[in-house]
């Protein structure tokens, strides 16, 4: 994730910045741009609200994770949360029931145009009565 965090004096200050409204907003914008460019859809109001909730939750988890690693002084495990992919993965799972691991496979299998049509169909199906 390319969120620019101001240069701060300590790791603790950097971690606190992760939980700031500015970083959360920037993370939201990046996720929104990525999802819309890959999927070829414009998110609905419901999806935008859901994405915002997902971003806030993931960034809080990252914040807690970072605080724990600083305290423990242990190396990062392979299971450490990577915010950008976690946000995108949770979005596609929550709204379209597509696991993150399948997004790349579907994109490669269908190609860009058919993949985007597939996502549009999923989005339209979610909003039918």
Kindly write down the DSSP assignment for every residue of 57-114, as one continuous string. Answer: HHHHHHHHHHHHHHHH-PPPPTT---HHHHHHHHHHHHHH---HHHHHHHHHHH-HHH
**pLDDT tens figures, 69-120:** 777 776 666 556 788 999 999 999 999 999 988 998 999 999 999 999 999 9
Name the one residue in this structure whose structure tokens are 């460019």. Answer: 37
Residues with Cβ within 8 Å of residue 5, at least 6 apart in sequence: 14, 17, 18, 23
pTM more than 0.85 = no
């Amino acid at each position: 994730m390319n969120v620019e965090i101001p240069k701060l004096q300590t790791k603790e200050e950097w971690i606190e910045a992760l939980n700031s409204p500015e970083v959360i907003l920037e993370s939201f914008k990046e996720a929104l741009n990525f999802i819309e460019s890959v999927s070829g859809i414009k998110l609905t109001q419901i999806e935008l609200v859901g994405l915002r909730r997902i971003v806030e939750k993931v960034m809080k988890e990252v914040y807690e994770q970072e605080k724990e690693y600083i305290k423990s002084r242990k190396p990062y495990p392979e299971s450490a949360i990577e915010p950008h992919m976690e946000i995108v993965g949770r979005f596609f799972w929550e709204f379209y029931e597509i696991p993150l691991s399948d997004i790349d496979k579907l994109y490669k299998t269908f190609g860009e145009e058919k993949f985007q049509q597939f996502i549009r169909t999923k989005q339209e199906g979610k909003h039918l009565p």
